[in-house]
Structure 1
Amino acid sequence: MKVLVVMGSPRKGNTYRSVRKIEEIMRSRGDVEFEYLMLNDVNQSPCSGCLVCFGKGEEYCPLKDDAPAIEKKMHESDGVIFATPVYGMNVSAQMKIFIDRHSYIFHRPRFFDKKALLLSTTGVIGHREVLDYLQLVAGSWGFEISHKVGIITREPLPAETELENEKKLQAAANVFYSALLNKKRWTPGLKDLTMFRVQKAIFKNLADFSPADYNYWKEKGWLRPEAKYYTDVPINPFYNAVSWISEQILKRKMGKEILENQK
Structure 2
Amino acid sequence: MKILVIMGSHRKGNTYNAVKQIEEHFKSIENAEFQYLMLADVNLSHCLGCYTCFLKGEEYCPIKDDATSIEQQMHDADGVIFASPVYGMNVSGLFKMFVDRFSYIFHRPCFFDKKALLITTAGGIGQKEVLKYMDLVASVWGFDVVNQIGLMTPAGIHIPKSLVLENEKKLKEAADKFQLALQRKEHKSPSLYDVLYFRGARGSFEELGGISPRDYEYWKGNGWFDKRTKYFVDVPINPIYNILGSVMEIYVRHQIRKLIADGEFQY
User: Which residue of structure 2 lines up, in the alignment, with residue 158 of structure 1?
Assistant: 160
Give per-residue Cα distances to partners, 1:191-234, cap 9 Å, x unaligned. 11111000001101222211111111111111122221111112
TM-score (norm: length of structure 2): 0.96
Q: Report the number of matched residues.
A: 263
Taking a change above 3 Å as real, the CA distance of residues 245 and 125 of structure 1, as seen in their structure-2 partners, is same
User: Which residue of structure 1 lines up, in the alignment, with residue 144 of structure 2?
Assistant: 144
Taking a change above 3 Å as real, the CA distance of residues 21 and 262 of structure 1, as seen in their structure-2 partners, is closer
User: Which residue of structure 2 lines up, in the alignment, with residue 7 of structure 1?
Assistant: 7
Give per-residue Cα distances to partners, 1:89-117, cap 9 Å, x unaligned. 11111111110000100000000000000
User: Which residue of structure 2 lines up, in the alignment, with residue 181 of structure 1?
Assistant: 183
- Structure 1, unmatched stretches of 5+, are none
Displacement of 1:235: 2.0
Corresponding letter in the other structure for 1:20: K
Partner Cα separation in structure 2 for residue 7 and residue 68 of structure 1: 17
User: Which residue of structure 1 lines up, in the alignment, with residue 209 of structure 2?
Assistant: 207
User: Which residue of structure 2 lines up, in the alignment, with residue 198 of structure 1?
Assistant: 200
Corresponding letter in the other structure for 1:173: A
With 40-49 and 186-195 compared, the bigger mean Cα shift is at: 186-195
Partner Cα separation in structure 2 for residue 144 and residue 30 of structure 1: 20
Match of residue 233, structure 1, among 217, 232, 235: 235
Partner Cα separation in structure 1 for residue 122 and residue 259 of structure 2: 45
User: Which residue of structure 1 lines up, in the alignment, with residue 94 of structure 2?
Assistant: 94
Partner Cα separation in structure 2 for residue 193 and residue 87 of structure 1: 31
User: Which residue of structure 2 lines up, in the alignment, with residue 119 of structure 1?
Assistant: 119
User: Which residue of structure 2 lines up, in the alignment, with residue 129 of structure 1?
Assistant: 129
Displacement of 1:185: 1.2
1:19-34 equivalent positions in 2, closer than 5 A = 19-34=19-34
Displacement of 1:238: 2.0
TM-score (norm: length of structure 1): 0.97
1:67 matched to 2:97? The reply is no
- Structure 2, unmatched stretches of 5+, are none
Corresponding letter in the other structure for 2:98: F
Partner Cα separation in structure 1 for residue 188 and residue 19 of structure 2: 25
Give per-residue Cα distances to partners, 1:47-84, cap 9 Å, x unaligned. 01011000000000000000010000000001000001
Displacement of 1:145: 0.5
Displacement of 1:255: 1.3
1:35 matched to 2:35? The reply is yes
Query: SS where residue 207 of structure 2 aligns?
Result: coil
Q: Percent identity?
A: 53
Partner Cα separation in structure 1 for residue 103 and residue 255 of structure 2: 25
Corresponding letter in the other structure for 1:120: T
Displacement of 1:262: 7.3
